[in-house]
């Protein structure tokens, strides 16, 4: 994903007074020397030809910022000081409370500083925030509308090239292409890695164009899906008036009969998806998945009842490592569902694919075990209880390894 240094910035300056060239300096928390920018291209018209300086009013160090190269050379992306964004008008703790109560979060429109570039050292780098005090000089030259359009096209091309690097598109054949034989576990692992890269690339494109008035087309272009982009209907672009603030509040004034009908429909859906009706063969839950799912429910209940899922532990001043255990087991349950649920339904996947999915779950399980060790070291939970958790995780690992061997025996 994009290399973001929003909160770590102390202050900075961007100079586009020379046409076709952007230079600058950025001072980062916990770094002595400033970051030097030497980029080709121009900013958007609001700051093109200007010297922009800014100061962060809410500095917070970021560990990732330490790996940002001191010399940033490359191409300009979108650079503007007048992007409009919605920001909450209430404190963070009240936001969480409103989410719990399924209430709408009040927002207001605010100017956002958005500085993006594509560097040879770090790829796509973004500074985005509303907590900057900004000063802009008088422009030394003016960017013509046609020049801005050309610059925006160039920015889109840079984004597309960056997306292609993430997706790691190859011109060669896919593993096993042109061959009707089943793929083995290693070929399926390559397929899954490719899927991961494409997913990462897609999420990067969504992040970039999340507020774009023609988001679908812009994302498709960035992904290289030109045929899809050409088919996108742009006659009714995205507009705030057509997309009101999401409100999760309960509809208490619904007619009771309508509520009963909705409940009945939901019950029917539950029967289908959870295998409690006549169609249960379509969604068979594997015993190992059921075991991990139940284990996750127990872990989550334990952690929540003791305040260990809070963003910050009140006693320790930092998030509890038990959160890592909970999130890892959730991730593991999802992977096991994809690998094992539905086996025997007549639509069984190839053994190599099941093995590849199971192998992807092993590092996730290791992450859960690491969280257990950290919880013991920091004395966050009862040692006897965490020992039982570790024992269960090792039992799950044993079953996963046995399943891997079982499916390897089914390979041709």
Tokens of 262: 């909705």
What pLDDT, on the 0 to 100 scale, is given for residue 264?
45
More confident residue, 75 or 169: 75
How far apart (Å, rounded) are the C-alpha atoms in residues 405 and 351? 10
Question: What's the pLDDT band for 346 if we cut at 50, 70, 90?
Answer: low
Q: Is the pLDDT of residue 62 over 70?
A: yes
Q: In what order do the strands lie in the sheet with 9-15?
A: 3-4, 123-129, 107-119, 71-88, 35-40, 21-28, 9-15, 51-56, 132-136
CA of 241: how far to CAs of 101, 224, 237, 238, 278, in Å? Answer: 25, 30, 11, 9, 44
What pLDDT, on the 0 to 100 scale, is given for residue 3?
86
Q: What is the mean pLDDT of residues 77-83?
A: 90
Tokens of 50: 């200007």
What pLDDT, on the 0 to 100 scale, is given for residue 115?
95
Q: Is the pLDDT of residue 180 over 90?
A: no
Taking the mean position of all CA atoms in its chain, how far away is CA 341?
A: 25
How far apart (Å, rounded) are the C-alpha atoms in residues 196 and 222? 17
Return the percentage of the chain with pLDDT > 90, whole number. Answer: 25
Residue 313 has, within 13 A of its CA and on its CB side, a CA count of 17
Report which listed range, 19-23, 161-165, 177-181, 359-363, is most confident. Answer: 19-23
Q: Is 202 exposed, middle or buried (0-12, 13-18, 19+ CB in 10 A)?
A: middle
Tell me which DSSP letter residue 350 carries: P
Domain boundaries along the sequence of the chain: 3-150, 185-250, 284-408
Give the pairing type, strands 3-4 and 123-129: parallel
- Quickly name the fold that domain 284-408 has: de novo design (two linked rop proteins) (1.20.1440)
Report field, pTM of the whole predicted structure over 0.75? no
What pLDDT, on the 0 to 100 scale, is given for residue 336?
86
Residue pLDDT, tens place only, 214-249? 777 777 777 777 777 667 654 443 343 433 343 433
More confident residue, 123 or 1: 123
DSSP sequence for 200-217: HHHHHHHHHTTT-TTHHH
Beta partners for residue 83, in sequence order: 112
What pLDDT, on the 0 to 100 scale, is given for residue 315?
54
How far apart (Å, rounded) are the C-alpha atoms in residues 25 and 33? 10
Averaged confidence pLDDT in the chain: 78
Angle between helical axes of 383-408 and 287-305 (0-180°, round to 10): 160
Taking the mean position of all CA atoms in its chain, how far away is CA 239?
A: 24
Residue pLDDT, tens place only, 295-311? 999 888 888 887 777 66
């Amino acid at each position: 994903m994009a290399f973001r240094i929003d909160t770590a910035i102390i202050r900075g300056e961007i100079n586009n007074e020379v046409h076709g060239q952007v230079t600058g300096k950025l001072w980062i928390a916990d770094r002595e020397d400033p970051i030097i920018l030497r980029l080709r291209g121009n900013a958007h018209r609001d700051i093109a030809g200007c010297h922009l300086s800014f100061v962060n009013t809410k500095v917070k160090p970021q560990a990732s910022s330490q790996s940002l190269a001191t010399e940033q050379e490359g191409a300009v992306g979108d650079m503007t000081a007048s992007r409009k964004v919605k920001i909450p008008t209430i404190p963070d703790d009240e936001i969480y409370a409103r989410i719990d109560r399924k209430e709408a979060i009040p927002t207001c429109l605010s100017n956002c500083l958005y500085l993006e570039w594509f560097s040879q050292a770090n790829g796509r780098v973004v500074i985005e925030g509303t907590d900057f005090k900004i000063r802009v000089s008088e422009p030394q030259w003016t960017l013509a509308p046609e020049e801005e359009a050309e610059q925006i096209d160039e920015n889109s091309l840079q984004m597309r090239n960056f997306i292609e690097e993430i997706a790691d598109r190859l011109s060669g054949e896919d593993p096993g292409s042109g061959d009707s034989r089943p793929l083995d576990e290693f070929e399926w692992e390559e397929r899954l890695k490719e899927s991961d890269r494409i997913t990462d690339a897609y999420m990067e494109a969504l992040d970039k164009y999340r507020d774009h008035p023609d988001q679908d087309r812009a994302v498709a272009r960035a992904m290289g899906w030109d045929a899809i982009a050409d088919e996108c209907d742009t006659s009714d672009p995205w507009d705030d008036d057509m997309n009101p603030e999401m409100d999760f509040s309960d509809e208490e004034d619904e007619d009771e009969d309508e509520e009963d009908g909705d409940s009945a429909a939901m019950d029917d859906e539950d029967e289908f998806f959870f295998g409690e009706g006549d169609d249960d063969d379509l969604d068979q839950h594997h015993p190992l998945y059921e075991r991990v799912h139940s284990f996750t429910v127990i872990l989550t209940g334990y952690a929540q009842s003791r305040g260990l899922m809070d963003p910050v532990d009140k006693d320790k001043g930092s998030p509890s490592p038990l959160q890592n255990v909970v999130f890892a087991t959730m991730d593991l349950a999802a992977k096991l569902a994809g690998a094992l649920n539905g086996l025997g339904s007549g639509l069984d996947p190839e053994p190599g694919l099941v093995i590849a999915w199971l192998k992807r779950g092993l590092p996730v399980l290791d992450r859960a075990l690491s969280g257990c060790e950290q919880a013991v070291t920091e004395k966050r939970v009862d040692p006897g209880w965490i020992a039982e958790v570790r024992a269960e995780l090792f039992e799950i690992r044993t079953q996963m390894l046995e399943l891997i061997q079982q499916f390897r025996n089914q390979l041709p």
